[in-house]
């Protein structure tokens, strides 16, 4: 029996959150698109893993230019996903199963089809004229400054009616809201209250550091590599990485708005926020600013562990950097989400390592201090799908193909039943193909195999829940060579030593003599040995010892 958490309001601290990408989870209508009723149908699968909450990627009304991250109505469900009644039914069933529900709140920008923008662009003197970021051109007709779009090209688009440019950090069809306007903030908080009143338990705030822009519209300086950065800090195929984004995001005014957001949530019991911070070398400072003091975000996640490195040195550096920078905030760790290649594909050197790496990764993630987020399908050990260009739906991938293949490879449908058409996802043609390699790893296959990745996830998350130390206990690293990751977790009367060998060779870890080793704890899927005070590990192995 899982131990109950101490305080209902603190359920998020140390929680395990399962991300659902609705379009790819389960289709119940045969149109090839996942829907809310499909999520309701599969909530039992999620609950069986032993997670605490689900995070739903956007299901709001949208023209779907960016798969729902371009919202045209914040208070309604897009017909492709169902109705508000379907959402209410899903929410009720999740709560019946003991699952909290977090929804994706995309408020830095809207769709260009949102009524607010339709009115804003109609003239320079309408009631919503200042609801978006408008600016006059330079005398030569060019954009107001050098800001770029993450999805390629300038971050400005000309509008012939207003004879001005509007700002867009993403697609041209995703104009940025003007958070300097208090009416915009009020309108957005009203939509948040709509979902709070409906019973949602929290919000994942998309691009939470993008809300405000520099009022003076100053040019961004060139990118300057930071040797201390632990995340992705180098220009890639996208010119966006060639700037230091000093003025187009992460502005100081954002802190005051986050306090307003938190004050609204605090009117309700047991609500929580997790912010997505994409800020390059400044990410950890931004997380510290946004989660400290108990009056802003409850927790944030960065992209530090979403890169290609799966080494002891990298993990240690990420965690220690967070510990130094964020003294009273909280982090949410993840290896995968809907925006990056699946971590099994990023971490393996050969296909035969897939299962071992999948098991080792969730075991490591589950022992870190912080909350953790899992992405649908990783509990099956799914690899990144290799899609043909004609199958792509992601505008980001289409724009930068073939140097960057986009995000569709991690968004393919969830495989439920090996013997069914499209692996049981849909009776119609799916919006993205289901790879045969994925179908062979379907849920109905793995749940029957005791040592499958799926059952390893269940066992590992049960281990995490059984030890209160792993929820929010202290974490301290021990000295070791860079091939070994060793740390303790401690809370109350329990102190555990974890040792991970992320290399492919056998290794030994000799604890300091001051550490009095107790009995090894059985950790699902791993069999490191304790011999004469030395922990012996195979390649891609780990051990847990009580101290």
Q: What is the pLDDT of residue 481?
A: 77
The neighbour count for residue 180, using CB atoms within 10 Å, is 15
Report if residue 124 sits inside a domain.
Answer: no
Regions of the chain where pLDDT drops below 70: 1-7, 225-236
Q: What is the pLDDT of residue 3?
A: 43
Are 325 and 409 within one domain?
Answer: yes
Q: Is 267 a catalytic residue?
A: yes
CATH number of 503's domain: 2.60.40.1180
Report if residue 221 sits inside a domain.
Answer: yes
Report if residue 141 sits inside a domain.
Answer: no
CATH number of 458's domain: 3.20.20.80
Are 222 and 330 within one domain?
Answer: yes
Are 316 and 445 within one domain?
Answer: yes
DSSP of 344-409: HHHH-SSGGGHHHHHHHHHHHHHHSSSEEEEETTGGGTPPPP---GGG---HHHHHHTTT---SGG
Q: Is 214 a catalytic residue?
A: no
Report if residue 92 sits inside a domain.
Answer: yes
Closest CA to 498 of 543, 546, 462: 543
For residues 380 and 413, is the Cβ–Cβ distance under 8 A? no
Are 500 and 457 within one domain?
Answer: no
Q: What is the pLDDT of residue 506?
A: 93
Cβ-Cβ contacts under 8 Å for 499 (sequence gap 6 or more): 480, 484, 485, 486, 509, 528, 535, 537, 542, 543, 544, 545
Are 504 and 370 within one domain?
Answer: no
Which is catalytic among the residues 52, 70, 206, 379? 206
Are 461 and 478 within one domain?
Answer: no
Q: What is the pLDDT of residue 77?
A: 98
The rounded distance, in Å, linking the Cα atoms of 161 and 175 is 15
For residues 312 and 325, is the Cβ–Cβ distance under 8 A? no
Q: What is the pLDDT of residue 1?
A: 34
Q: What is the pLDDT of residue 232?
A: 43
For residues 62 and 78, is the Cβ–Cβ distance under 8 A? yes
The neighbour count for residue 60, using CB atoms within 10 Å, is 23
Report if residue 118 sits inside a domain.
Answer: no
- What the block records as the tokens of 518 is 């107790």
Which is catalytic among the residues 140, 197, 228, 267? 267
Are 437 and 521 within one domain?
Answer: no
Q: Domain ends where: 405, 440, 465?
A: 465
Are 507 and 444 within one domain?
Answer: no
Report if residue 160 sits inside a domain.
Answer: no
Are 526 and 500 within one domain?
Answer: yes
Q: Domain ends where: 448, 465, 482?
A: 465
DSSP of 42-110: HHHHHHHHT-SEEEEPP-EE---TTTTSS-SEEEEE-TTT--HHHHHHHHHHHHHTT-EEEEEE--SB-
Q: Is 296 helix (H, G, I), strand (E, B) or coil?
A: coil
Q: Domain ends where: 402, 434, 465?
A: 465
Report if residue 447 sits inside a domain.
Answer: yes
Closest CA to 302 of 271, 327, 337: 337
Q: What is the pLDDT of residue 441?
A: 98
Closest CA to 111 of 120, 102, 103: 120
Are 245 and 192 within one domain?
Answer: yes
Report if residue 129 sits inside a domain.
Answer: no
Could you list the residue range(s) of the whole structural domain that residue 486 is in? 474-546
The rounded distance, in Å, linking the Cα atoms of 369 and 480 is 19
User: What sign has the CA pseudo-torsion 296, 364, 461, 521?
Assistant: negative
The rounded distance, in Å, linking the Cα atoms of 304 and 146 is 27
How do 484-491 and 494-501 pair as beta strands? antiparallel
Q: How many domains does the chain have?
A: 2
Instruction: Please measure the distance between the N-terminal and C-terminal CA atoms of the chain and give it in whole angstroms.
Output: 24
Are 515 and 449 within one domain?
Answer: no
Are 195 and 87 within one domain?
Answer: yes
């Amino acid at each position: 029996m899982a131990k109950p958490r101490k305080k209902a309001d603190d359920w998020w601290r140390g929680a395990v959150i399962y991300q659902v990408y609705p379009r790819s989870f389960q289709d119940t209508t045969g149109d090839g698109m996942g829907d809310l009723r499909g999520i309701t149908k599969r909530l039992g699968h999620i609950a069986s893993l032993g997670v605490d909450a689900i995070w739903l990627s956007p299901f709001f009304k949208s023209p779907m230019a960016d798969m729902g991250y371009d919202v045209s109505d914040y208070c309604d469900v897009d017909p492709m996903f169902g109705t508000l009644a379907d959402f209410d039914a899903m929410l009720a069933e999740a709560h019946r199963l003991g699952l909290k529900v977090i929804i994706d709140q995309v408020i830095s920008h809207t769709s260009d089809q949102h009524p607010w923008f339709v009115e804003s662009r109609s003239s320079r003197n309408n009631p919503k004229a200042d609801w978006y970021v408008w600016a006059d051109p330079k005398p030569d007709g060019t954009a107001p400054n050098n800001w770029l779009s993450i999805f390629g090209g300038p971050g400005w688009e000309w509008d012939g009616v207003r004879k001005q440019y509007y700002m867009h950090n993403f697609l041209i069809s995703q104009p940025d809201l003007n958070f300097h306007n208090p009416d915009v903030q009020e309108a957005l908080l009203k939509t948040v209250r709509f979902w709070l009143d409906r019973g949602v338990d929290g919000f994942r705030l998309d691009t939470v550091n993008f809300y405000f822009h520099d009022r003076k519209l100053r040019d961004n300086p060139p990118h300057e590599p930071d040797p201390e950065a632990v995340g992705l800090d180098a220009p890639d195929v996208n010119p966006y990485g060639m700037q230091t984004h000093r003025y187009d995001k992460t502005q100081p005014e954002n802190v005051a708005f986050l306090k307003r957001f938190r004050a609204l949530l605090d009117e309700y019991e047991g609500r929580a926020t997790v912010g997505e911070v994409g800020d390059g070398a400044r990410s950890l400072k931004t997380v510290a600013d946004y989660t400290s003091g108990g009056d802003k975000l409850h927790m944030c996640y960065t992209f530090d562990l979403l890169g290609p490195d799966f080494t002891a040195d990298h993990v240690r550096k990420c965690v220690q950097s967070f510990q130094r920078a964020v003294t009273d905030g909280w982090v949410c760790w993840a290896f995968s989400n809907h925006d990056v290649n699946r971590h099994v594909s990023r971490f393996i050197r050969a296909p035969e390592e897939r299962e071992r790496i999948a098991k080792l990764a969730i075991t490591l993630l589950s022992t870190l201090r912080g909350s953790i987020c899992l992405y649908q399908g990783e509990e099956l050990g799914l690899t990144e799908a290799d899609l043909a260009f004609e199958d792509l739906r992601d505008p980001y991938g289409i724009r930068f193909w073939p140097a960057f293949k986009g995000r569709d490879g991690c968004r393919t449908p969830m495989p439920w039943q090996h013997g069914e058409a499209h692996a049981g996802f849909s009776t119609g043609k799916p919006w993205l193909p289901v790879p045969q390699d994925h179908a062979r790893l379907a849920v109905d296959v793995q749940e029957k195999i005791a040592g499958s990745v799926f059952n390893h996830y269940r066992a590992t998350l049960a281990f995490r829940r059984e030890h209160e130390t792993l929820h929010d206990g202290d974490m301290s690293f021990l000295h070791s060579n860079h091939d070994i990751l060793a740390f303790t977790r401690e809370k109350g009367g329990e102190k555990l030593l974890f040792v991970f060998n992320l290399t492919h060779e056998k290794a030994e870890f000799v604890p300091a003599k001051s550490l009095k080793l107790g009995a090894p704890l059985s950790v699902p899927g791993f069999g490191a040995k304790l011999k004469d005070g030395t922990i012996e590990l195979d390649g891609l192995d780990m051990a847990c010892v009580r101290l």
